[in-house]
Amino acid sequence: MLLKNGTLVTSDKTFLADLLMVGEKIAQIGEKIDAPGHEILDVSGKLILPGGVDPHVHFDLPMFGTVSSDDHYTGTKAAAFGGTTTVIDFVSFDFPTLRQSVEVWREKAAKAAVDYAAHMNLTRFDAQIAAEIPRLTDLGISSLKVFTAYNNRLRLADGDIFRVLRMAKEAGMLVLLHAENGDVIEALTAEALAAGHTEPVWHARTRPAWGAVEATLRACSLAAQADAPIYIVHMNAAGEVDMLRYARERGVRAMGETCPQYLLFTEDDLRRPDGAKWICSPPVRTAADNARLWQGLSDGTIQTVGTDHCPFFFDGTKPILYDGEPVAIPGKELGRDDFTKIPNGLPGVQDRLPVLWTTGIGSGKWTPQQFVALTSTNPARIFGLYPRKGALLPGSDADLVIWDPNRKVNYGVARSHQRTDYNLYEGWELTGYPEKVFLRGRLIVDGERWLGEVGRGQFLTRQTSGEFL
């Protein structure tokens, strides 16, 4: 197909050009391309963006006796409708070896409708696991996630995180870190429950921002001492941005990610009658934190915006229709009388690009080039997928979004393809929305028509030694 008269937007420039797709690749970009025998699509007045790359999603994730409501098909279908054509999921370390955990995850993920890759959750550490870590790259996985919270479940001791950082550096891998203080969370949660505080807002009050700030600086300190790169996931507090900037100014190879919920919502949302909808970990914070995170994205302190997409039903006792079939999955009602039993997670993989275009571009906070960098190109570069993904270049995969910057949409659950019963952006008026989405040269979204299919996505074997930005 030949796309004529489009405005291409990359991470560093915007320009008028034609774009020719041959097979699964971008074959040529230039003015007045002549390609006899190719289907021609006139995209005058529209933008051509590289497909979004979401570096942080959780599909089919068991939690609190239930499971996140999007599997690898429904979640990636939703991603495509929002203009995202590549996602990076997490492999849970649920089996005796890393390899076994990856193999089980690969079987579940094979139904994906867009291209996908994986990070490895590293929630145990010993000599046997240490010997396995470098071999993950043979399985196409070049990043590890560690935690400073979730004591006795997911957390590693600081000494083990330090050892993992050094091992990852030698193998050309990147360590991702969830930054909270697990000890403080345990103490405050016990106190809150003993005092009878069970409402959703106590989820935030028992996970104070200072814990995230302290853990972010501690993580950067460990990375500095290991002389290794580190990537702080789902940054949520103003002080985290300050700590990341402090570390980067001193030569630490530290990078950061935030998510739309930390830019647009606050603890006040947890006080609403339906406040459980906003429960995620780490929690949403304050308007001042929102503002500092926006600033960190604009000035380059933070490199990416993911979603941490991990949806649950608000009321899993009531079925919804999804693809014409009734679906009901236990969800946040499990913690109706106890905030510690509310599954932690939000929908967002479809919402990310349209919501950020409206709030980032529409408000003048970002240029279109910054939007592409933060939501597509930077994640691809950091996680060893560039220039196959996140780029408009000859030879790159033809993952393209025809974007209508003037289209106005009344957004909400009725327009969402995320398999849950609510949407955080219900009733929001958005300006700018995907019109068509191509995955490796094939049209999979055409307006509201779904042309994709189960298993169309490919597993992406990622390069080691991704870029430091």
Does 376 share its domain with 431? no
Query: Does residue 218 sit within a domain?
Result: yes
Residue 422: which domain range?
2-49+388-450
Cα(294)–Cα(308) distance, rounded to whole angstroms? 17
Does 373 share its domain with 360? yes
What type of residue sits at position 251?
A: G
Does 43 share its domain with 102? no
Rg of the chain, C-alpha, whole Å:
21
Q: What is the pLDDT of residue 345?
A: 98
Does 354 share its domain with 422? no
CA of residue 65 relative to chain centroid, distance:
24
Q: CA distances (Å), 445 to each of 33, 357, 411, in order? A: 25, 19, 17
Q: What is the pLDDT of residue 206?
A: 98
Does 8 share its domain with 157? no
Does 284 share its domain with 377? yes
Tokens encoding 164: 């993992």
Does 293 share its domain with 307? yes
Number of other residues whose CB lies within 10 A of the CB of residue 258:
28
Give the CATH number for residue 110. Answer: 3.20.20.140
What type of residue sits at position 232?
A: I
Does 100 share its domain with 245? yes
CB-neighbour burial class of residue 454 (10 A; exposed 0-12, middle 13-18, buried 19+): middle
What pLDDT, in 10s, does the model give residues 189-234?
Answer: 999 999 999 999 999 999 999 999 999 999 999 999 999 999 999 9
Q: What is the pLDDT of residue 463?
A: 82
Does 11 share its domain with 160? no
Q: What is the pLDDT of residue 367?
A: 98
Cα(222)–Cα(228) distance, rounded to whole angstroms? 9
What pLDDT, in 10s, does the model give residues 407-416?
Answer: 999 999 999 9
Overall domain count for the chain: 2
What type of residue sits at position 369?
A: Q
Query: Does residue 461 sit within a domain?
Result: no
Tokens 């106590």 correspond to 202
Q: What is the pLDDT of residue 464?
A: 87
Q: Which domain-ending residue is among 382, 404, 420?
A: 382
Contact at 8 Å (CB) between 80 and 437?
A: yes
Does 362 share its domain with 299? yes
Query: Does residue 331 sit within a domain?
Result: yes
Tokens encoding 409: 């949409």
What type of residue sits at position 447?
A: G
Query: Does residue 458 sit within a domain?
Result: no
Q: Which domain-ending residue is among 341, 357, 382?
A: 382
Query: Does residue 457 sit within a domain?
Result: no
Give the CATH number for residue 24. Answer: 2.30.40.10
Residue 106 is given by DSSP the state H
CA of residue 35 relative to chain centroid, distance:
37
Tokens encoding 23: 């097979």
Does 446 share its domain with 321? no
Of 173, 202, 169, which Cα lies nearest the Cα of 188? 202
Cα(265)–Cα(280) distance, rounded to whole angstroms? 12
pTM reported for the whole predicted model:
0.98
Query: Which residues have C-beta within 8 Å of that of residue 449, sequence separation ≥ 6?
Result: none
Does 63 share its domain with 19? no
Tokens encoding 245: 């900037």
Q: What is the pLDDT of residue 465?
A: 79
Number of other residues whose CB lies within 10 A of the CB of residue 48:
22
Query: Does residue 138 sit within a domain?
Result: yes
Q: Which stretches of the chain drop beneath a pLDDT of 50?
A: none
Query: Does residue 463 sit within a domain?
Result: no
Q: Which domain-ending residue is among 382, 401, 416?
A: 382
